[in-house]
Amino acid sequence: MTETDKTAEASPSRPRPRRSAKLDAEDTRAQGRRRLSMVDVAAHAGVSVGTVSNVLNRPEIVARPTLLRVKAAIETLGFVPSAPARQLRAGASRSVGVVVRDIGNPFFTEVLPGIESRLSEEQLLLVVCSSNDSPEKEAHYLQTLEQHRVPGILITPAGDDIGHLVDLHRRGVGVVLLDRPGADSQLCAVAVDNVRGGELAGNHLLSLGHRRIGFLNGPPAIRQCRDRREGLLRAVRNAGLAPDEVVTEVTLPVLNAAGGEAGLDELLAMAGPPPTALFCMNDMVALGALRNLEQRGMAVPGEMAVVGYDDVEFAALLSPSLTSIRQPKQQLGRAAAELLLTDARGDAGHWHQEIVFQPELVVRASSSAPARPSAG
Amino acid sequence: MTETDKTAEASPSRPRPRRSAKLDAEDTRAQGRRRLSMVDVAAHAGVSVGTVSNVLNRPEIVARPTLLRVKAAIETLGFVPSAPARQLRAGASRSVGVVVRDIGNPFFTEVLPGIESRLSEEQLLLVVCSSNDSPEKEAHYLQTLEQHRVPGILITPAGDDIGHLVDLHRRGVGVVLLDRPGADSQLCAVAVDNVRGGELAGNHLLSLGHRRIGFLNGPPAIRQCRDRREGLLRAVRNAGLAPDEVVTEVTLPVLNAAGGEAGLDELLAMAGPPPTALFCMNDMVALGALRNLEQRGMAVPGEMAVVGYDDVEFAALLSPSLTSIRQPKQQLGRAAAELLLTDARGDAGHWHQEIVFQPELVVRASSSAPARPSAG
DNA sequence: TCCCTGGGTTGAAATGTTTCAATTGCTGGT
DNA sequence: ACCAGCAATTGAAACATTTCAACCCAGGGA
């Protein structure tokens, strides 16, 4: 009855090497043959390099027969123009960089299409980099992107200090902060009101009657974490309660499912009565927390209400369906791209803008009133 | 009681533009000032450009005081070397491209860390591109990557024909197919046995007693779709049943949750008795199907058993938890990166390899025996 | 016949690096 | 006093393109 078809370890079946096609006659590789350049094409077509360049960049100004001849030469030789050389001359690149904190978090991948849709209208290519919350890696990516002379960079900074981004911008690179307010508008920014989001979550749990709330937060170096925390605490204060009696906070080193799973262990191991509700920094953390709760056999929302953040695509279908704070991801991406375009243009008249969207509470099955509401 | 805190439309609060920092004195932008080059640094430090280059690339061979002086000049001027110029000279880039079919599918983002971990050991940067199943977009990305002279490209092709990839490889670019067998080993490839995966799913559902299986498949142009289908049909035949009586197939135009949601409508609208089980091309499709089933009020697995594919991170926590076919994603990524490194090296002795991993069935709550098993 | 016009093409400069042969300036040995 | 040997630095070529002033040539008007 039970399917036992599984392999013990997913191990590679014996790799079966074969003769490389690389050694075929028409193969260019490993033969030390120089890569083709425009002079080869020019020679083959019997024209000058200038003409080849024209064929590539302003075909309308070259005479019909010449055009055809050069195009044929390009085709038969398999010539591919060199982007570095092109760029060196032109000065600017046609790709913009997006540096996200964690590409494994669906929130970011759900923001990307919005960005991509706007930028592809301008024939710009998107280069996606994931810093994995490491400021060093982030710095490395930024350096590379700047060296590549990209016109602009969209970034969700890993750390708190954005001085290096302001410098970057000074040096002529368009910079837009993604999902993060722009410190005193030194930079363009697109964000969702995270304080409000935290407040929404807090209001929701408090109105359900919860008086002990566990908060699986991230490192305070991440701005969003501070803001959502502030919102949560504000909700508690507005309800006339004392934050440090209501909120028990755990700081996760990583904001993914594994982090959430471990964070819940830590939270429940703390002294005092356990919380009746959980607010998670994002849905991936909530996912991990739910996994942990299930293993412990704790009922959700019966023994523990759970609220996530981001409302990623799978949130509505988790078991139980996850109450979350929705962010307008597509619009966020598009607005960011739009802003980057104007910023990268670098018009003297350009003013820094900060576009702030409003989050939205989506109530689902994972949050309900506590079993025995403790007295306020 | 119900939280009504939500904003009607997540609309941006009035953008508040401020004066751009761009017009400050030390700002380089929009002033037509030429970008700094090594000659500026050289002049400022009182050395030749050759020395500046040495400071950057072989600091050990330049005398201590000179080194310091040049470094200081770089610092105070804010010089950033030009990657295009550097590359033009060097010939090769330090970034490799990864072209995936859909960055919104967690399967791909869960493969990325494996790739990234191996490549970053070689100081290579990962450039991620999402073709969104569009061969045109894929071609565009490939062209750009080739023009940038990347040493190699990892790709899950959008279409069926990989002739253009073979050509690309002939022209000297390392190419490794990701999650896709390499057609007759003309290319290196890393894959999971998709036929076997389809068979595992089929065996599982058949052994539970299902005799009418709906199959939410993708376009046959995608190799994985064909392979998993073949595996499913093989399982049916091995059970002594007629495939066309057991399997009802729907071809989804897009392999995401929206596709799965619409696909189920289509499937259930077809003539004949509805299936008792559903096999989905991937977990995102299964997610959409589950969403649809929930809206219809159909019980899972009671009225419809569901099996997904990929076993992405959230699969275990869906409602109900999703039976799926697990692929060793991390290892897949790492193996692919490893293969790309040897392929890109282009040693004459290199043989094309195809590494095939084995999938694994993970049984969870979404699949059980049908309510009234129909007779074989 | 001569000059002008203008479409088409050319040749060379310019872009910012790296690399390498040549040069400089020392130190120490004879 | 001379030279060998060595470390440090220099200058120029090379990389593959774009751009632009100059050039060529055919045709048309005077």
pLDDT of residue B375: 43
Q: Tell me if chain B has a CB within 8 Å of the CB of A106.
A: yes
Closest nucleotide C1' to the C-alpha of A70: C9
Q: Tell me if chain A has a CB within 8 Å of the CB of B353.
A: yes
**pLDDT tens digits, residue range B143-198?**
999 999 999 999 999 988 899 999 999 888 999 999 887 766 689 999 999 999 99
- Work out the pLDDT band at A276, boundaries 50, 70, 90: very high
For the domain that residue B208 is a member of, what is the CATH number?
A: 3.40.50.2300
**pLDDT tens digits, residue range B75-96?**
999 999 999 999 999 888 888 9
Closest nucleotide C1' to the C-alpha of B64: D8
Task: Indicate the range of A37-41, A125-129, A363-367 predicted with least confidence.
Answer: A125-129
Which residues in chain A have their CB less than 8 angstroms from residue B284's CB? 313
Chain A 31-70 contacts with nucleic strand C (CB below 7 A): 46-51, 54, 61-63, 65-66
In a domain, A72, yes or no: no
The number of beta carbons lying within 10 Å of the beta carbon of residue B48 is 13
**Average pLDDT over every residue of A143-153:** 93
Closest nucleotide C1' to the C-alpha of B58: C18
In a domain, A239, yes or no: yes
Which residues of chain B from 145 to 204 reach within 8 Å of chain A, CB to CB? 146-149, 166-167, 169-172, 185-186, 192-193, 200, 203-204
Give the distance from residue A159's alpha carbon to the nearest chain B alpha carbon, in angstroms.
21
- Work out the pLDDT band at B348, boundaries 50, 70, 90: low
Please say if the pLDDT value at position A18 is more than 60: no
pLDDT of residue A122: 87
Q: Which bases of chain C come closer than 7 Å to a protein CB?
A: 7-12, 14-21
In a domain, A116, yes or no: no
**Tokens read off for B138:** 């894929």
Residue A136 CA, nucleotide D5 C1', distance (Å): 44
Contact assessment for residue A228 and residue A259, using Cβ atoms and an 8 Å cutoff: no
**pLDDT tens digits, residue range A46-57?**
999 999 999 999
Q: Which parts of A207-284 are beta strand (E)?
A: 213-217, 247-251, 277-280
Chain A, nearest residue to B103 by Cα: A109
Which residues of chain A from 284 to 313 reach within 8 Å of chain B, CB to CB? 284, 287, 290-291, 294, 313
**Average pLDDT over every residue of A167-195:** 88
**Average pLDDT over every residue of B263-289:** 96
Full-model pTM: 0.85
pLDDT of residue B349: 59
In a domain, A300, yes or no: yes
Residue A40 CA, nucleotide D25 C1', distance (Å): 27
- Work out the pLDDT band at A206, boundaries 50, 70, 90: very high
- Work out the pLDDT band at A348, boundaries 50, 70, 90: low
Closest nucleotide C1' to the C-alpha of B88: D15
Please say if the pLDDT value at position A4 is more than 80: no
Identify residue A204 by its one-letter amino acid code.
H
Closest nucleotide C1' to the C-alpha of A45: C9
pLDDT of residue A67: 96
| A109, A346, A361: residue with CB nearest B5 | A361
pLDDT of residue A25: 29
**Mean per-residue pLDDT of chain B:** 87
**pLDDT tens digits, residue range B206-218?**
999 999 999 999 9
Nucleotide C18's nearest residue (CA vs C1') is B89
Please say if the pLDDT value at position A184 is more than 80: no
- Work out the pLDDT band at A97, boundaries 50, 70, 90: very high
Q: Is B216 exposed, middle or buried (0-12, 13-18, 19+ CB in 10 A)?
A: buried
In a domain, B85, yes or no: no
| B3, B86, B347: residue with CB nearest A361 | B3
Residue B4 CA, nucleotide D8 C1', distance (Å): 75
- Of A226, A126, A214, nearest to A181 (Cα)? A226
In a domain, A270, yes or no: yes
In a domain, B220, yes or no: yes
Contact assessment for residue A301 and residue A366, using Cβ atoms and an 8 Å cutoff: yes
**Mean per-residue pLDDT of chain A:** 88
Residue with the bigger pLDDT between B24 and A31: it is: A31
pLDDT of residue A159: 87
| A18, A116, A347: residue with CB nearest B352 | A18
Q: Tell me if chain B has a CB within 8 Å of the CB of A38.
A: no
Which residues in chain B have their CB less than 8 angstroms from residue A95's CB? 144
pLDDT of residue A352: 81
Which residues in chain B have their CB less than 8 angstroms from residue A354's CB? 15-16
Task: Indicate the range of A95-99, A201-205, B39-43, B183-187 predicted with least confidence.
Answer: B183-187
**pLDDT tens digits, residue range B302-319?**
999 999 999 999 999 888
The domain total for chain B is: 1
Please say if the pLDDT value at position A198 is more than 70: yes
Q: Report the percentage of chain B scoring pLDDT > 70.
A: 88
Chain A, nearest residue to B313 by Cα: A257
Give the distance from residue A269's alpha carbon to the nearest chain B alpha carbon, in angstroms.
23
**Tokens read off for B97:** 């491209």
Residue with the bigger pLDDT between B285 and B1: it is: B285
pLDDT of residue A23: 27
- Of A292, A105, A317, nearest to B284 (Cα)? A317
**pLDDT tens digits, residue range A21-34?**
332 323 444 444 56
Using DSSP, how many helices (H) and how many strands (E) does chain A show? 13, 12
Residues in chain B: 376
Contact assessment for residue B85 and residue B36, using Cβ atoms and an 8 Å cutoff: no
Count CA atoms closer than 13 A to A324's CA, side-chain side: 25
**pLDDT tens digits, residue range B239-252?**
999 999 999 999 99
**Average pLDDT over every residue of A270-299:** 95
Give the residue from B2, B210, B314, B318 with the most A CB atoms within 10 Å of its CB, the best one to mutate. B314
pLDDT of residue B183: 67
Please say if the pLDDT value at position B7 is more than 80: no
**Average pLDDT over every residue of A27-46:** 76
Q: Tell me if chain A has a CB within 8 Å of the CB of B15.
A: yes
Residue with the bigger pLDDT between A43 and A126: it is: A43
**pLDDT tens digits, residue range A117-133?**
999 888 888 889 899 88
- Between CA A134 and CA A131 the distance in angstroms is 6
- Tell me how far the alpha carbon of residue A332 is from its chain's centroid: 12
Task: Supply the range of the domain harboring residue A279.
Answer: 194-328
pLDDT of residue A185: 67
In a domain, A341, yes or no: no
- Between CA B241 and CA B235 the distance in angstroms is 9
